[in-house]
Amino acid sequence: MQYKVTNQFDTSELSFDDFKSIVIKDYKIAYESRQVSLQGRKEALTGKAKFGIFGDGKEVAQVAMSKAFRKGDWRSGYYRDQTFMFATGMANVKQFFAQLYAHPDLEHEPHSGGRQMNAHFASRSVNPDGSWKNLTQKMNSASDVSSTATQMARLVGLAEASKLYRQNPELKEFTQFSINGNEVAFGTIGNASTAEGLFFEAINAAGVLQIPLAISIWDDGYGISVPNKYQTTKEDISEVLKGFQRTKDKPGIEIFKVKGWDYVALCETYETAIKICREEHVPVLIHVTEMTQPQGHSTSGSHERYKSKERLEWEKEYDCIAHMRKWMLESAISTEEELTEIENQIKSDVKAVIKEAWTEFLEDVKIERNKAIVLLEDLGQEIPEVKKIALIYKSEIDPLRKEMFGAIRKALRVARFHESNAKSALKKWYEEQKKINEERYNSGLFSDTPQSPLKIEHTAPVYSSDSKMVDGKDVLNACFEANFRKNPLLVAFGEDLGLIGDVNQGFAGLQAKFGEIRISDTGIREMTIMGQGIGLALRGFRPIAEIQYLDYIFFAINILTDDLASLSYRTKVGQIAPMIVRTRGHRLEGIWHSGSPMSAILGSLRGVHLCVPRNMTQAAGMYNTLLKGDEPAVMIETLNGYRIKEKLPDNIGEFTIPLGQVEILREGTDITIVSYGAVIKQIMEAVAELATLGINAEVIDVQTLMPFDLAMDCAKSLQKTNKLLVVDEDVPGGASAYILQDILERQNGYYALDAQPKTLPAKAHRPPYGSDGDYFTKPSADDVIEIVYQMMSESDPEKYPQL
């Protein structure tokens, strides 16, 4: 008997024995994954892990999906996809449990180095030196994010990359990233998460862009305890999405619906859907219904609390593995004896691998523990209380590093008045272990590779007698044009960016020069604009993704904070996304365009550089630096700077502004004023009048808030002036507090002060509309003059009498 079956790469005529071999292999993967879920829950509930979340009930559909996944393809999924990862070879059982135990060694846990909870997967895209691996010769998974539906945003960019690689002939040489755009971006999401606005935004963007994106919806009828009737209109997301279905004369998406327990139908559906997606570059959606979740949502609760007895009985009957087993027996593909033997062997193998993973996790800790006990006992010979600490620590079963460090630190506190060789040895070893643990648990917020923008050589702007005075927008325009000519992987997109060249004309005329494929307009959809940037950057592009005004960054803050800002850290520099978020802010008038919410950005985007140039020449130099580097950034241009005249550098596409380096705009001896961005203009007006009042102020433009003043020049200034004022357009306690804390603590500026340091922020509310609203809300030149004068008066009231 002959069967036509899809394997991972092609369709061919197979003998019954070959067909049987394929089906049994698929069953083994599914059954193994189920055992991982069952045993993983036990490991978490017995205390070996903090938490566990698993993909039980989704196994057969994910095996079918894996058959359509090829080298070069990308996954942007969520924490139910363990079977798919096992089936594609992007993860294995031992790695899964190493992650469950939070093993901090990349050799054992390559997805995150123990930084993410289990079932959060990632392939490694870059080498330790920052160079790209050949992504077309491997299967790829974008690093998972727990936040529901967040994976949909970057999925748009991962898929759009294939479109750009296929349609732009200039990119044919970049064969490490794509082979003619033939790669599909696979997304997975739970049914409940499709209620998120981000899901609908991504579906709409995919339909507009017509990109090879394949979304699988695992529909088990619930979102934790909440059933579909409270989640989705008609209780059926594919019914809701029928308006997106493409027709003969209208592009859209192709929608498929299949039951999660039907192995044959699942294989056929994925073969058909992915063929359309890959060849035609049409987005597809596969709604996999009638799935189960045998263990409930996670180890944090039991599904018996919210599922009826009838539902629980149905889930037993329609369990996908049980159904596949039944079909295999009825089709004479296997016998009861064969399957029982296979299942028993898998159970035994999984338990053995779990034991190995736990032993390997404890191995390094035990070596360190034994050393710590020896050192503690040595010191305990001299201090009885330390001996007790050593005995308590020694008695603990399978202690982690937390307990070890706790014991050592307590011992050192007890021995604070004691000096001996034993104490010195303990302290020395403790300091060595601190450095090792910083690498384990605190490293990789940025790539810190040789391509880091912090390591880009500084090149000053060059001017000549022929250098023109132009509007600030024209400085930016020339900078962008120079960079687009140099790098075919550079793309830019955003609302009104393409045809009209952005609302402030920084990209004016560039779409006509470089084409819509590289400089394009988008819909009003900030979350997926940021997702496009992340996905494109993961695939080798250098995207500039625009948010029209800084105030609107909050529409996308979840994507930026949960995905972009943590990407390098949570993969331990296994993946990078060197995108630039371009926006504009500061002193435009009105509640919705006031543009200085720095405290929110500083608090949520650690892992992203934050550039706040005062003019467009500074911005251009920072763009040049960032585009030579490999780390992400937010660039905030000053809204009132586009029409101000600046001299155009002769080397507009080459000069660089170092990140984390302040600029002293005016030297002085009486007080140091630190600020950034548009308010610099008011400060410079103020210091001119202050000079007439006998006050010589030093003005420092920080230029970037992240990183901030790496050379600690602010503290050096305080050595001269002994007084500090921080001026800021953010709310009280916002960026001004961030700057103040750094100068006083990290830079030790506190010890140079002879007066109380002060801040001059904006009011706590957003500015009302109009020039008067701006004047009475944000720092003005008058405000700067009066607060500086007051500070000087407090030090020398005779010379500076009260105003």
Residues annotated as catalytic are 593
| Phi, psi (deg, nearest 5) at residue 467 | -65, 135
Q: Are 487 and 544 in contact (CB under 8 A)?
A: no
Best CA proximity match to 628, nearest among 399, 394, 502, 457:
457
Cβ neighbours for 400, distance < 8 A, ≥ 6 positions apart? 365
Q: The tokens of 732 are what?
A: 């009280």
Best CA proximity match to 700, nearest among 690, 718, 792:
718
Q: The tokens of 626 are what?
A: 């960032």
- Give the residue carrying structure tokens 């937010």: 634
Q: Is beta strand 758-760 parallel, antiparallel or unpaired with respect to 724-727?
A: parallel
3-state secondary structure of 182: coil
Q: Are 159 and 283 in contact (CB under 8 A)?
A: yes
Q: Are 664 and 699 in contact (CB under 8 A)?
A: yes
3-state secondary structure of 502: coil
Q: How far is CA 796 from the centre of its chain?
A: 51
What does the alpha-carbon distance between residue 53 and residue 75 come to, in Å, rounded to a whole number? 19
- The 3-state secondary structure of 476-500 reads HHHHHHHHHHHCCCEEEEECCCCCC
What does the alpha-carbon distance between residue 726 and residue 146 come to, in Å, rounded to a whole number? 38
Q: The tokens of 343 are what?
A: 């299942």
DSSP code, position 119:
T
What does the alpha-carbon distance between residue 139 and residue 374 come to, in Å, rounded to a whole number? 46
| Phi, psi (deg, nearest 5) at residue 242 | -60, -25
Strand ranges in 183-273 using DSSP code E only, listed in sequence order: 185-190, 213-218, 222-223, 226-227, 254-259
Q: The tokens of 99 are what?
A: 């992650």
3-state secondary structure of 76: strand
Whether cis (ω within 30° of 0) applies to the bond prior to 707 is yes
What does the alpha-carbon distance between residue 552 and residue 259 come to, in Å, rounded to a whole number? 40
Q: Are 608 and 553 in contact (CB under 8 A)?
A: no
What does the alpha-carbon distance between residue 768 and residue 783 come to, in Å, rounded to a whole number? 18
Q: Cα-atom radius of gyration of the chain, to the nearest Å? A: 30
User: What is each CA distance from 230 to 216, 224, 236, in whole angstroms?
Assistant: 21, 12, 11
What does the alpha-carbon distance between residue 5 and residue 13 come to, in Å, rounded to a whole number? 7
**H or E segment and range at residue 16:** helix 16-45
Cβ neighbours for 600, distance < 8 A, ≥ 6 positions apart? 554, 557
